[in-house]
Amino acid sequence: MRRDVFQAISDPTRREIIQLIAHQPLNLNAIAENFQMSRPAISQHMKVLIECGLVSVDKKGRERHCEARLEKLSEVAQWVEQYQQAWQKKHDRLDKVLEKVKQKTKK
Amino acid sequence: MSTQNKTKVIAEDGKQEMYITREFDAPRDIVFQAHADPDLLVQWLGPENRKMQIEKYDTHSGGAYRYFVCDNQDRPIAAFHGSLHEVTAPERIIQTFEFEGLPERGHVSLGITTFEALPGDRTKVTIHSIFRSTADRDATLRSGMEKGVNEGFQKLDAILASAAVARP
């Protein structure tokens, strides 16, 4: 299964987790306390976030600190930016088409 | 001709829709015509440096369209089709859109294109695209930008590798 940023952020719980740990790293228990769902369900979301590269885990003794890798999120913006550029190019061509039609209708 | 007109794509994280907006220095009926007349569409709608070939494009309510994008020897390599739900000149086109190259059928999206007359014979075009899922929308955002995507995945691979090392 392909893991990417899009998959990581497509789920509302995962987006909340990212927000929660955006400012300070938290261990799994502290994260789970913020949600109504079961620990295994939260663990599953954490696994996806880790596999997507949006969260890194730092092991300190028995504690596992989960830290958000926010720099990954900018990739979504990057893809939107590239899609936008593709449409910009289409629309620049459309500008030329419109110019031709305008010239024709003037005649 | 103005070069200040910028195309904007608004795609919020986790949503299954997006908006594409653009202003044009041309009156609304001409901008509409360029979105409805196959002879004009073929000149701009395809991807850059690729010839577009229209099989049919019946731009009226209840019509249908199908077109191809060709390789550099003008051989069709990708097909797209859809239905025209509503064509109201010169203000609105509502259509479906499906890329035929996916492993399974049914990943269709709905596109509502509105043409708004602005002062000074200018026109604002808004394309509102709605997908069946966020995954479908995101796949569309990623499409046609192989270079950027590959670079993105390379970075992702590196981070995944380091995450794997960090894990117990």
pLDDT tens readout for residues A45-82:
999 999 988 899 988 788 888 998 877 776 667 778 88
Determine contact: B105 vs chain A, CB below 8 A.
Answer: no
Burial B138-168 (b: 16+ CB within 10 A, else e): bebbbbbbeebbeebeeebeebbeebeeeee
Condensed to tens digits (0 to 9), the pLDDT of residues B108-122 reads: 999 999 999 999 999
3-state DSSP helix/strand/coil percent for chain B, to nearest 5? 25, 40, 35
Question: Which are the contacts of A4, defined by CB distance < 8 A and separation ≥ 6?
Answer: A52, B152, B153, B156
Contact at CB, A98 and B26, closer than 8 angstroms: yes
What does pTM read for this prediction? 0.68
Determine contact: A93 vs chain B, CB below 8 A.
Answer: yes
Number of H helices, E strands in chain A: 5, 3
Q: Which strands sit side by side in the sheet containing A63-68, from one edge to the other?
A: A26-27, A63-68, A55-60
Contact at CB, B44 and A56, closer than 8 angstroms: no
Neighbours of B97 (CB within 10 A): 17
ipTM: 0.81
Contact at CB, B152 and A7, closer than 8 angstroms: no
Instruction: Given CATH 3.30.530.20, say whether it is the number of domain B8-143.
Output: yes
Question: Which are the contacts of A74, defined by CB distance < 8 A and separation ≥ 6?
Answer: none
Condensed to tens digits (0 to 9), the pLDDT of residues B13-34 reads: 889 999 999 999 999 999 999 9
The pLDDT of residue B163: 41
Neighbours of A2 (CB within 10 A): 8
Q: Which residue has the higher pLDDT, B50 or B20?
A: B20
CA distance, residue A89 to nearest chain B CA (Å): 7
Radius of gyration of chain B (CA): 19
Residue ranges covered by each domain of chain B: 8-143
